[in-house]
Amino acid sequence: MAIEISNRLGLANVKSDFIHTAGRKLEDIHERLLELEAKGEVKVIHVKEENKAIEAETLLGWKKKIPTNKLWHHKSCGQCGNIPGYPVSLLWFMNQMGLEYVDERNQTSCTAWNYHGSGTSNPVGLAAVAVRNWHRAYELGLFPLFHCATTFGDYKEMRNLLVENKELRDEVRRIMHKIGRELVIPEYIVHYSEWVHVMRFEIAKLKKYDLSSVIATVHPACHTYKMIPEDCIYDKDIYAGKRTAVSTGVMLALGAQVADYSTWYDCCGFGFRHILTEREASRSFVMDRKIRPMVREANSDVCITQDTGCTTTLDKNQWIGKAMGYTEQVPVMSDVMFAALACGADVFKIVQLQWHTTDWRPLCEKIGIDWKKSEEEYNAYLEELKAGGKTVNLYEYPKS
């Protein structure tokens, strides 16, 4: 197949039959994991038929099964307090599609915040926390789905370290026995954006608005695709297989235009500690390396993210930029939040854009969403709750 270019704005839907090997010759950790299982060294959380997996291709052309049903939600400790519409939008889609899942209190953070807790943990602690959470999904008979990119990167790293190091396995196994659990490792470490990616055509069937005039710029998360890159989804029909396909894939499936910009590969500026301790660096990075190129080069209507820290950094740091003459502004939301908006989810009750700082109302108006009506209904709902009314939840909890 010859290279086919149909998107005047950039590379997003360039197709190619080129296989992206990037010169890497790596051992498939998945095979080694199954060998350890055969020797009785570890238990494996397998993708079962009831998980209704959809297969995707990774950077090196390996197959990765993405389970779509009977999932255990591993929430993000930076996301739930700050961007509640992020997990809500994901669960909302699963309800729309009649899929089964569990969201519960019996989960901890991966504790890898700022990556490896800025040195405040160690490989044994990080691996034991990972296995503890994996085991919780295992005992419920569910497959874990990780919401956070840092968790995704950390858990991929911990899985690899556990597979490669007997001493680490022995130590983690000892700790697991102490807390009444076992050493289990998922067959695949799966990020929510991979679920969104493989479900993108099902998501597109729910679309309520014409998005052909919306120009999106995608910011991929470092901890999603730069860590253990051989385990990330690439697609020969998206960026010609040269960049990770997640997030861009769902935007194209929804019919939005995905525009390229020169700093696509740059991080968001969060810095994994700098957002609190070197804030000027984060702010400058956001405006100079991300928002300004997105607006000036691509005339972007929306910045699409796939992680907690990126969404926070890119959204919150635009306001202060005005003080230094940065007039460019673009609303920021994750792929699943944008998809939920496009599929008719309520702006306030589900997508929860009211918590965001950069103005998202012009985007809603461009799409044709009546956000004012949604705001009125939400405010009335808050009054009902204040008067003792009950919350309308996405699921029953605890299940009887």
Partner 1 sequence: MEYDENGVSIVPAELKKDIFEEARKDFRYEEYVRGCLNCGVCTGGCPPHRFFDFSPRIVLQKMKSKDPELIWTMMDEYVWACFQCFTCAMICPFLNSPGGVIAILREIAVRRGFESAKKVLKPYSRVLLKLTAYGNQLSPDMIQPDFFPDWGPHIGYASTDLAVKRKAIPMPTLQVTNLAWDVAPETMKELYDIFDEAGVFKIIESVDPSLYEIIQDIVDDVRSS
Shortest reach from residue 19's CB to partner 1, in Å: 18
**Footprint on residues 129-188 left by partner 1 (CB under 8 A):** 129, 132, 153, 161, 164-165, 167-168, 174-175, 178-179, 181
Closer CB to partner 1, 113 or 155, in the complex: 113
Residue 126 or 198 having the CB closest to partner 1: 126
Region binding partner 1 by CB under 8 A among candidate stretches 42-50, 122-130, 200-208, 368-376: 122-130
Closest to partner 1 by CB, 214 or 330:
330
Site for partner 1 in 28-67 (CB under 8 A): none
Closest CA relative to residue 395, chosen from 140, 95, 97: 95
Query: In this structure, what token pair is assigned to residue 324?
Result: 């230094």
CB of 26 to partner 1, least distance (A): 8
The closest alpha carbon to 144, from 70, 236, 48, belongs to 70
Work out whether 243 is an interface residue with partner 1 (CB under 8 A): no
Q: Which of 18, 21, 106, 299 binds partner 1 (CB under 8 A)?
A: 106
Closest by CA position to 143, among listed 186, 91, 81, 82 = 186
Of the candidates 278, 354, 272, 285, the residue with the CA atom closest to the CA atom of residue 317? 285
Q: State in angstroms the smallest separation of the CB of 300 from partner 1.
A: 20
Task: Give the N- to C-terminal CA distance of the chain in Å, as an integer.
Answer: 55
Going by the DSSP 8-state scheme, the letter that residue 44 receives in this structure is E
> Binding residues for partner 1, how many (CB under 8 A)?
94
- Strands annotated E in 10-167: 43-45, 54-57, 63-66, 71-74, 101-102, 143-146
For tokens 């008719």, the residue is: 344
> 296 or 322, CB closer to partner 1?
322
241 binds partner 1 (CB under 8 A): no
Does 329 contact partner 1 by CB under 8 A? no
Asked if 96 is part of the footprint of partner 1 (rule: CB under 8 A), the reply reads no
* Residue 222 sits in the site that holds partner 1 (CB under 8 A): yes
Task: Map the footprint of partner 1 across residues 342-381, applying CB under 8 A.
Answer: 349-350, 352, 354-355, 357, 378, 381
Residue of the chain from 46, 48, 206, 284 that contacts partner 1 (CB under 8 A):
284
The nearest distance, CB 393 to partner 1, in angstroms, is 5
Please provide the DSSP assignment of 172-234 as one string: HHHHHHHTT---EEESS--BHHHHHHHTHHHHHHT--S--TT-EEEE---HHHHTSSGGGSBB
Nearest Cα neighbor of 215 from 183, 173, 185, 255 is 255
Lookup: tokens for 262: 């020169």
Of 14, 29, 71, 91, the residue at the interface with partner 1 (CB under 8 A) is: 91
Shortest distance, position 223 Cβ to partner 1, whole Å: 7
Contact stretch for partner 1 (CB under 8 A) within 32-40, 217-225, 326-334, 368-376 = 217-225
* 111 conformational bin, left if phi > 0, alpha if psi -120 to 50, beta if neither: left
Q: Identify which of residues 256 and 350 has a Cβ nearer to partner 1 in the complex.
A: 350
- Rounded CA-CA distance 93/378 in Å is 20
Largest CA distance in the chain: 64
255 binds partner 1 (CB under 8 A): no
Phi, psi of 298 (to 5 degrees): -120, -5
Binding region for partner 1 (CB under 8 A) out of 30-38, 64-72, 185-193, 225-233: 225-233
